[in-house]
């Protein structure tokens, strides 16, 4: 670490989809942009089921190269405890996520951003002029480009939420744990299979996410962090996945097959997502979908907003929190009502296996276009069969599926 600081307009922390996209859009807007990433390479280890909806791709105007798409998919099939299966048909893609993140990083560097791997942010101090007016952040950490002086910091450090931690901006979020294996010769008809089976995934779900050549990610998210691997192993042992081969994904070296995954924030957007010269995006801001926990679309979109606000702040020479307040206004106007969806999720997980299956049997084969009238009919049918469901907020539980759609950033 030298004494002479590295200076830039925008310092992005983390090279996940959010950070890469923030660097890309900041550089495209002519800002002197620097990105630091703790890991020695972009994209690995993968901590994602790797799916993204077509609506997200269109919303973000992504022209994803073919070799990054492992498989185009038809949508999600939700499988309930008694085996009843209902579809949410919406086109999308399963990605080679590490290649996707590297592609965004390459685009960002082509646009002029500089990337610095094995650089970990550990400290931040305000810089002020003699009148006490905020001038930027002096950032310190591990890596030879530190200290870095940046007018604006975009925190895209994922669930680590490093700026919130250093500056004590937000409490630590509640998290859910996810783990998956890559498996071979997995039968598929092109849908993502999501199993709502609380027996294995407490307040979470299990998945089979198909890829090319018969490969698939088979995994789960659960609130039981310590028991996650054991529960996934039991699910595989007790289902048609039992006799299929498990392998390491292509990006992982070594013979010993291990699961891969991570944690996902589930408390919803942080109270504070901006401050003087600072914006939090993606998982670092708590932006994940409450029911199926997807976060890539939200990370990418919040990155686009943050880059726009950073450009204005630098151009006007006003880095104050008041000026940056446009950022939370932008994401609040666009992102779905988290707490409403969370209510739906809680109502859903308050149902017993039997009640979940009963609800599923009342759903139409295709859940994507139930409509207000359709939902009303389902509620009536359900209450007729099981009046006690009235007290279990069945309407909220049903609405959770509506909010899991791509247009609500559900995946
Ligand atoms: C098991 C699992 C399955 C998932 N499946 C899906 C899915 O199918 N679809 C979907 O949309 N979402 C999915 N998600 C969620 C998705 O992965 C995240 O929402 C998304 O990656 C968030 O992107 P991000 O850029 O905000 O953060 P991240 O992708 O987490 O990137 C953060 C980066 O910051 C770096 N970093 C952290 N601290 C520092 C520091 N101090 N200094 C420098 N760098 C730092 C990290 O090394 C990391 O590279 C899944 C998550 C898990 C765990």
Instruction: Indicate whether 233 and 381 sit together in one domain.
Output: no
Q: Do 105 and 167 reside in the same domain of the chain?
A: yes
In order, the DSSP letters of 42-69 are TT-S--S--EEEHHHHHHTT----GGGE
Q: Residues of the chain with pLDDT > 70: what percent? A: 100
Q: 274-275 and 205-210: which strand pairing? A: unpaired
CB of 96 shorter than 6 A to ligand 1: no
Please report the pLDDT score of residue 36 as a whole number: 98
CA nearest ligand 1 atom 35, residue: 14
Nearest Cα to 280, choosing from 240, 214, 327, 242? 327
Residue 142 clears pLDDT 70, i.e. is over it: yes
158 shares a domain with 33: yes
Give the 3-state secondary structure of residue 71. strand
Do both 148 and 279 map to the same domain? Answer: yes
Q: Do residues 147 and 255 share a domain? A: no
Q: How many domains does the chain have?
A: 3
| C-alpha 52 – ligand 1 centre gap (Å) | 14
Which domain-ending residue is among 211, 232, 265? 265
Choose the final residue of a domain: 224, 244, 265.
265
- Tell me the mean pLDDT in the region 157-171: 98
Ligand 1 binding pocket includes 26 (Cβ within 6 Å): no
35 and 134 assigned to the same domain? yes
Which residue's CA is the closest to the ligand 1 atom numbered 18? Answer: 295
Testing ligand 1's pocket by substitution, the residue of 101, 121, 201, 296 carrying the most ligand atoms inside 8 A of its CB is 296
Residue 69 lies in a domain: no
Query: Residue 159 CA: which ligand 1 atom is closest?
Result: 30
378 and 243, same domain (yes or no): no
Instruction: State the Cα–Cα distance between residues 163 and 273, nearest whole angstrom.
Output: 10
Per-residue pLDDT at 2 exceeds 80: no
| Tens digits of residue pLDDT in 60-90 | 999 999 999 999 999 999 999 999 999 999 9
Ligand 1 pocket member 19 (CB < 6 A):
yes
Diameter over CA atoms, the chain: 73
Same domain as 204, residue 288: no
Residues 6+ apart with CB under 8 A from 226: none
Residues 331 and 280 occupy one common structural domain: yes
Expressed as residue numbers, the domain containing 365 is 339-408
CA 78 → CA 191, 193, 205, 207, distances in Å? 10, 6, 10, 9
> Does the beta carbon of 160 sit less than 6 angstroms from any atom of ligand 1?
yes
Distance 283 CA to ligand 1 centre (A): 7
Note every long-range contact of 222-231, with CB atoms under 8 Å and residues 24 or more positions apart, other chains counting.
222/176, 222/177, 222/178, 223/176, 223/177, 224/177, 225/175, 225/176, 225/177, 225/263, 228/177, 228/178, 228/179, 228/261, 229/179, 229/259, 231/200, 231/201
344 and 220, same structural domain? no
pLDDT for residue 383 is more than 90: no
Last residue of a domain, one of 287, 305, 335: 335
In a domain? residue 303: yes
CA–centroid distance, 81 to ligand 1, in Å, is 29
Does 62 reside within a domain?
no
What span, in angstroms and rounded, lies between the C-alpha atoms of 122 and 215?
39
Q: Which atom of ligand 1 is nearest to the CA of 283?
A: 26
Average per-residue pLDDT for the chain:
95
Helices marked H in 152-279 = 162-167, 228-237
> Does the pLDDT at position 405 exceed 90?
no
Provide the CATH number for the domain around residue 125.
3.50.50.60
The pair phi, psi for residue 357, each rounded to 5°, is -70, -40
pLDDT digits (tens, 9 = 90+) for 235-262: 999 999 999 999 999 999 888 999 999 9
Can you tell me the distance from the alpha carbon of 19 to that of 176, in angstroms, rounded to the nearest whole number?
A: 22
Whether residue 90 is contained in a domain is answered as: no
The tokens describing 98, both together, are 């590490």
Whether 250 is in a domain gets the answer yes
Domain holding 246: CATH number? 3.30.9.10
Q: Are residues 167 and 187 in the same domain?
A: no
Q: Is residue 39 part of a domain?
A: yes
> CA angle, 43 as apex, 9 and 58 as ends, to 5°?
75
Same domain flag for 188 and 232: yes
């Amino acid at each position: 670490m030298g004494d002479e600081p590295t200076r830039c307009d925008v310092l992005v922390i983390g090279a996940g989809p959010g950070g890469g996209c923030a660097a890309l859009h900041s550089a495209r807007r002519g800002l002197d942009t620097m990105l630091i990433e703790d890991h020695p390479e972009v994209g690995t280890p993968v901590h994602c089921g790797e799916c993204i909806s077509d609506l997200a791709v269109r919303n973000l105007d992504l022209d994803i190269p073919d070799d990054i798409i492992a498989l185009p998919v038809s949508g999600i099939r939700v499988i309930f405890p008694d085996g009843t299966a209902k579809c949410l048909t919406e086109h999308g893609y399963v990605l080679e996520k590490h290649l996707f993140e590297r592609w965004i990083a390459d685009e960002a560097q082509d646009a002029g951003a500089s990337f610095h791997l094995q650089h970990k942010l550990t400290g931040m101090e305000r810089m002020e002029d003699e009148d006490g007016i905020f001038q930027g952040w002096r950032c310190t950490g591990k890596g030879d480009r530190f200290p870095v002086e940046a007018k604006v910091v975009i925190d895209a450090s994922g669930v680590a939420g490093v700026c919130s931690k250093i500056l004590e901006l937000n409490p630590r979020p509640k998290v859910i744990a996810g783990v998956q294996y890559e498996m071979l010769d997995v039968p598929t008809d092109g849908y993502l299979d999501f199993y709502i089976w609380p027996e294995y995934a407490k307040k979470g779900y299990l998945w089979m996410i198909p890829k090319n050549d018969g490969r698939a990610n088979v995994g789960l998210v659960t609130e039981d962090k310590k028991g996650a691997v054991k529960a996934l192993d039991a699910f595989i042992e007790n289902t048609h996945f039992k006799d299929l081969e498990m392998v390491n994904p292509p990006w992982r070296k070594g013979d010993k097959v291990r699961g891969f995954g991570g944690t996902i924030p589930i408390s919803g957007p942080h109270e504070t997502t901006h401050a003087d010269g600072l914006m939090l995006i993606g998982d670092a801001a708590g932006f994940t979908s409450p029911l199926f926990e997807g976060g890539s679309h939200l990370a990418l979109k919040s990155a686009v907003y943050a880059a726009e606000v950073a450009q204005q702040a630098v151009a006007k020479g006003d880095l104050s929190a008041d000026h940056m307040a446009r950022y939370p206004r932008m994401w609040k106007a666009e992102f779905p009502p988290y707490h409403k969806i969370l209510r739906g999720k809680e109502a859903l997980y308050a149902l017993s296996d039997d009640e979940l299956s009963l609800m599923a049997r009342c759903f139409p084969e295709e859940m994507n276009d139930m409509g207000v009238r359709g939902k009303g009919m389902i509620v009536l049918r359900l209450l007729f069969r099981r009046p006690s469901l009235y007290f279990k907020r069945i309407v909220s539980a049903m609405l959770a599926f509506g909010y899991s759609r791509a247009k609500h950033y559900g995946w």
